[in-house]
C-alpha cells in the first residue's frame, strides 16, 4: 500500500492506519507535513461515476472553505484513479484530513446538538443551488425516498418481531409519505449525518465527513436522518431530536408539509439501518462495523412505534411555532 500511495501521490509516508469502513477501505495517511484519508473501493463503472460526482460536490463545498474534505490530485493530475492492487481492480482517491473528534466518541450536550443543527442547515443552504447530474440520477436503497427498495432485506432480519415492526413502517410510509414526496423541496444532501460522520472541535460541530451517500432527495430527509442518529441511543429520543430540529429551523425553516412526515422518515431510516445491517451480517459476518448500531436502532424503533404519530407531529409543530394538527 505504501508504494502505491507514494507512486501516485508523491507522498513521503510516515504511517498508515486502517480505519472502519462500511463497503470500502479507508486509511489514515500521515506524511511529514499533513494527514490525508486514502479510500479504496471495489471497482464498478457505476460506482466510479458516483465517486466522480461526489468529488465534484466536495470541490464545490470546499471552495474557500476548510470545513469539508477536499479531493487531492494524483501525480497524473486526476482526482480518481483505477488501480490494480494484489490482482484486483480498485477505485482509489485521496482526501484531505479534517481535524476533530467524532460525535460518537464524546459526551453529547445540548450546545453541541444545537451547533449540529446549525451546521447541517448552513451546509444545505450552500448546496441548494448546486447541480450535479450524476448525483441527481442516483437511485439507491439508503435514500429515504426509495425506502421501498429495502423490502428485499426483510427476510434477513433475525427475529419475527423485527420483521413485523419493519413491515408495519413500510405500510405507514406508503400511506403517509409516498403521496407527498412529489410536493417536497428537493436538493443534493449529505444523507448520512450519523455520529461517526460528524466532527466536533472546541465544543461545537465543525465538519461533516464521508459524503458517499450523497443523493438528490427531499430536503427534509437531511434533518430527519440527523435527528435519528442524534437520538437513537438516548433514553428520551424525542427530546434530543427536538434540539436538532429547532436549531436547524433557525437557519433553514422547515415547512409544515415536511413536519407532517418527520415521524415516518425517522422510522424509515431506522428500518433501513436494520435491514441493511442484517443483510451485511449475512454476507460478511466479520464486518462488525456494518451492523454495530443494530441493537441501538432496534431499541429506538420499538420506542418510536410506541409514540403516537400525532403526538410527535404536534411536538414538532409546537417547537417550530406551527398550529397543532387535529388528526
pLDDT of residue 31: 93
pLDDT of residue 296: 84
- Is the pLDDT score of 217 beyond 70? yes
Helix (H) or strand (E) holding 204: strand 204-208
- CA 264-269-273 angle, to 5 degrees, is 145
pLDDT single digits (tens) 225-268:
999 999 988 889 999 999 999 999 999 999 999 999 999 999 99
Confidence of residue 105 (pLDDT cuts 50, 70, 90): very high
pLDDT of residue 286: 72
- Is the pLDDT score of 97 beyond 70? yes
Q: State the span(s) of the chain assigned CATH 3.30.200.20.
A: 2-96
Question: Smallest Cα–Cα separation from 51: which of 143, 145, 129, 135?
Answer: 135
Please provide the CATH number assigned to the domain covering 101-320: 3.90.1200.10
pLDDT of residue 51: 96
pLDDT single digits (tens) 195-206:
999 999 999 999
Which ranges constitute the DSSP H helices of the chain?
Answer: 2-9, 45-61, 110-127, 133-136, 160-176, 220-231, 237-251, 256-259, 262-283, 294-305, 309-320
- Is the pLDDT score of 124 beyond 90? yes
pLDDT of residue 129: 95
- CA–CA gap between residue 12 and residue 2 (Å, rounded): 9
- CA–CA gap between residue 72 and residue 77 (Å, rounded): 9
- CA–CA gap between residue 17 and residue 2 (Å, rounded): 11
Q: State the span(s) of the chain assigned CATH 3.90.1200.10.
A: 101-320
pLDDT of residue 288: 65
pLDDT of residue 295: 82
Please provide the CATH number assigned to the domain covering 2-96: 3.30.200.20
pLDDT of residue 290: 52
pLDDT of residue 221: 98
Amino acid at each position: 500500500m505504501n508504494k502505491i500511495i507514494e507512486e501516485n501521490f508523491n507522498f513521503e509516508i510516515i504511517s498508515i492506519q486502517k480505519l472502519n469502513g462500511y463497503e470500502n477501505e479507508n486509511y489514515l495517511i500521515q506524511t511529514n507535513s499533513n494527514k490525508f484519508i486514502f479510500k479504496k473501493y471495489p471497482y464498478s463503472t457505476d460506482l466510479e461515476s458516483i465517486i466522480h460526482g461526489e468529488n465534484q460536490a466536495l470541490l464545490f463545498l470546499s471552495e474557500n472553505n476548510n470545513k469539508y474534505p477536499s479531493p487531492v490530485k494524483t501525480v497524473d493530475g486526476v482526482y480518481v484513479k483505477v488501480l490494480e492492487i494484489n490482482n484486483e481492480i480498485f477505485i482509489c482517491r485521496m482526501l484531505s484530513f479534517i481535524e476533530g473528534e467524532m460525535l460518537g466518541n464524546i459526551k453529547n450536550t445540548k450546545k453541541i446538538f444545537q451547533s449540529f443543527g446549525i451546521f447541517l442547515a448552513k451546509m444545505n443552504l450552500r448546496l441548494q443551488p448546486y447541480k450535479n447530474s450524476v448525483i441527481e440520477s442516483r437511485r439507491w436503497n439508503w435514500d429515504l425516498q426509495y425506502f421501498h427498495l429495502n423490502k428485499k432485506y426483510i427476510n434477513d432480519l433475525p427475529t419475527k418481531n423485527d420483521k413485523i415492526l419493519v413491515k408495519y413502517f413500510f405500510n405507514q410510509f406508503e400511506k403517509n409519505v409516498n403521496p407527498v414526496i412529489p410536493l417536497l423541496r428537493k436538493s443534493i444532501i449529505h444523507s448520512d449525518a450519523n455520529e461517526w460522520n460528524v466532527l466536533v472541535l472546541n465544543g461545537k460541530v465543525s465538519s461533516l465527513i464521508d459524503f458517499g451517500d450523497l443523493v438528490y432527495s427531499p430536503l427534509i430527509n437531511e434533518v430527519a436522518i440527523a435527528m435519528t442518529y442524534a437520538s437513537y441511543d438516548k433514553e428520551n429520543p424525542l427530546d434530543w431530536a427536538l434540539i436538532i430540529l429547532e436549531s436547524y429551523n433557525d437557519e433553514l425553516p422547515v415547512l409544515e408539509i415536511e413536519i407532517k412526515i418527520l415521524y415516518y422518515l425517522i422510522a424509515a431510516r431506522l428500518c433501513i439501518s436494520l435491514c441493511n445491517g442484517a443483510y451485511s451480517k449475512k454476507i460478511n459476518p466479520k464486518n462488525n462495523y456494518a451492523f454495530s448500531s443494530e441493537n441501538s436502532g432496534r431499541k429506538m424503533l420499538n420506542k418510536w412505534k410506541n409514540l403516537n404519530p400525532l403526538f410527535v407531529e404536534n411536538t414538532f409543530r409546537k417547537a417550530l411555532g406551527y398550529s397543532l394538527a387535529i388528526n
